[in-house]
Amino acid sequence: MTDGNNNTTVLIQPVLQDDKNKTTTPTNPFSEIVSKQKEYFNTNATKDIGFRIEQLKKIRALLRANESKLYEAIYNDFSKSEFETYATELAVLYHEINLNIKNIKKWSNRKRVTTGLANFPGKSFIIPEPLGNILVIGPWNYPIHLTLMPAVAALAAGNPVLLKTSELPANTSAVIAQLINDNFSKELFCVVEGGVQETTALLELHFDKIFFTGSVPVGKIIYQAAAKNLTPVTLELGGKSPAIIMADCNINISVKRLVWAKFINGGQTCVAPDYVLVEKTIEEKFLLALQIEIEKYHPDTDESRENYLQIINTKNFDRLEKLIDRDRVYLGGRTNREKRYISPTVLKDVSFEEEIMQEEIFGPILPVLSFTNLDTAIRKIKTKPKPLACYIYSKNKRTVNKVLNEVSFGGGAVNDSVMHLSNSNLPFGGVGFSGIGSYHGKAGFDTFSHQKSIMQKPFGFEPNLKYPPYSKLKMNLIKWLIE
């Protein structure tokens, strides 16, 4: 496994296990830690609400005390500004921690539900119980937020967590590993750094839940590995998220919001608008507004990276550069391989059949396609797998509702893009190829909880209705009671 920061990598000696509830692969380097987390969970220590709140406060304090280290690490990985790091990584995380601290007690309470006459005089309730040892596998694009946010939800719900960070933002991964591994007992919360090899080894072991954020192809690998143990998964994946711009929208406001959402984090955002579908009648006006807005924030002559990010690595830079069809460039298209810089790029007159429309772009290239008929545009969107997000910009209620009703997607926004994920009252997740399950706020707590359903009866009274001998009268009574 990688040792991003020398002493922070979790090194575990292989051990043999004889308990079938524990891990079984003798040579697996993570057997011991996974067994320890299972044992720890079985002590019930994580079920105490006060204990859980304490852990979340500890994470919050660690983040606060080490913000400058995190800013520096993120800058070294992406050349991302402090402002953007705070806004897109830390602010949302602090909010989620605070929300969980405030609500753990309420969310973990038993909930009474009605019982029905057939079970009179019983009572029924649901107990949200922690699932057990959790594996969280993170992506590279928001390496603090997308690793610690699910970890916080899992801990809040009372589970021990093993977090596997992405190997690509090596500096940030090393800081997270150091902060967590130096301050938490590894039975409760531990970070493993590494890539395919480490993840493959982890996937051989038994977890009570796997929470994965990343690409569709790797999501399939995770799902298959989890199936061997019937381990439930949450898969937070990607896809081609469209933004539909109708002629009746406010162009300037729409473009302002769209440009921010597309080019923040250098376009490396899972819910960034992947492509634009604009009504033909306003295409020229829209393109012009795009140009003005982009040039305002990202002058194409300037590669100083105050407000604009690098591409994460050369492999991704090369992949993205190949997607820029020079005949289609309306704006931008300037690249610098050494600096892994791609200027915000707009492509026009693109069709659904072109290469750039086949896979998620995940970079600062925005193809613009025009349409004359919304039904046709919707049909085209539906030829692709269900996207993680969809955005509709229009003042017309019927148009908005048509898109919301007819297109299936994870979540989205009307007259805005990306910002839906900042509202923790909205469960965040995909559908179909863009993912399974959701999190954020209460949805996150529920994702890491099992809803244990209980019916409780007193000893005092037991009607004979369900017992033989059966009779016509009993039959009629049971019909009346149950139906």
List the catalytic residues.
Answer: 236, 270
Site membership for ligand NAD, residue 273 (CB under 6 A): no
Shortest separation between residue 350's beta carbon and ligand NAD, angstroms: 20
Pseudo-torsion of CA 441, 259, 363, 163, nearest 10°? -20
Pseudo-torsion of CA 381, 384, 389, 394, nearest 10°? 0
Helices and strands (H, E) in the chain, number of each type: 16, 18
Binder of ligand NAD out of 66, 103, 215, 408 (CB under 6 A)? 215
Task: Tell me the CA distances in angstroms from 167 to 118, 196, 235, one per residue in order.
Answer: 56, 9, 19
Binder of ligand NAD out of 97, 191, 237, 389 (CB under 6 A)? 237
Site membership for ligand NAD, residue 201 (CB under 6 A): no
Binder of ligand NAD out of 62, 127, 221, 414 (CB under 6 A)? 221
Binder of ligand NAD out of 170, 210, 388, 443 (CB under 6 A)? 388
Task: Tell me the CA distances in angstroms from 363 to 267, 283, 317, 345, 474, one per residue in order.
Answer: 4, 22, 9, 9, 68
Site membership for ligand NAD, residue 259 (CB under 6 A): no
Query: Can you tell me whether residue 428 is helix, strand or coil?
Result: strand
Site membership for ligand NAD, residue 213 (CB under 6 A): yes
CB closer to ligand NAD out of 5 and 370 = 5
Size of the site for ligand NAD (CB under 6 A): 27
d(CA 95, CA 102): 11
Site membership for ligand NAD, residue 234 (CB under 6 A): no
Helix axes 145-156, 91-108, angle to 10 degrees: 20
Q: Which two tokens stand for residue 254?
A: 């729409």
**If you search the block for the tokens 């959701």, which residue do you land on?**
438
In the complex, residue closest to ligand NAD by CB: 238
**If you search the block for the tokens 């989620």, which residue do you land on?**
96
Site membership for ligand NAD, residue 130 (CB under 6 A): no
Site for ligand NAD in 361-380 (CB under 6 A): 362
CB closer to ligand NAD out of 153 and 388 = 388
Shortest separation between residue 363's beta carbon and ligand NAD, angstroms: 11
d(CA 265, CA 146): 14
Neighbouring-strand partners of residue 192: 164
Q: Which two tokens stand for residue 369?
A: 């396609």
Please choose, out of 19-27, 42-50, 81-89, 191-199, the segment that lies near ligand NAD by the rule CB under 6 A: 191-199
Instruction: Show the site string, 412-451: x = touches ligand NAD by CB under 6 A, - = not.
Output: ------------------x----x----------------
Site membership for ligand NAD, residue 29 (CB under 6 A): no
Shortest separation between residue 87's beta carbon and ligand NAD, angstroms: 16
Shortest separation between residue 239's beta carbon and ligand NAD, angstroms: 7
The 10 Å Cβ neighbour count of residue 479 is 9
The answer to whether the beta carbons of residues 103 and 128 sit under 8 Å apart is no
Binder of ligand NAD out of 7, 109, 185, 200 (CB under 6 A)? 200
Site membership for ligand NAD, residue 9 (CB under 6 A): no
CB closer to ligand NAD out of 85 and 199 = 199
Report the side by side order of strands in the sheet with 329-331: 329-331, 345-347, 365-371, 275-279, 242-245, 389-393, 411-414
d(CA 418, CA 273): 8
Site membership for ligand NAD, residue 166 (CB under 6 A): yes
Binder of ligand NAD out of 137, 154, 350, 390 (CB under 6 A)? 137
Footprint on this chain of ligand NAD (rule: CB under 6 A): 137-141, 146, 164, 166-167, 195-196, 199-200, 213-215, 218, 221, 236-238, 270, 360, 362, 388, 430, 435
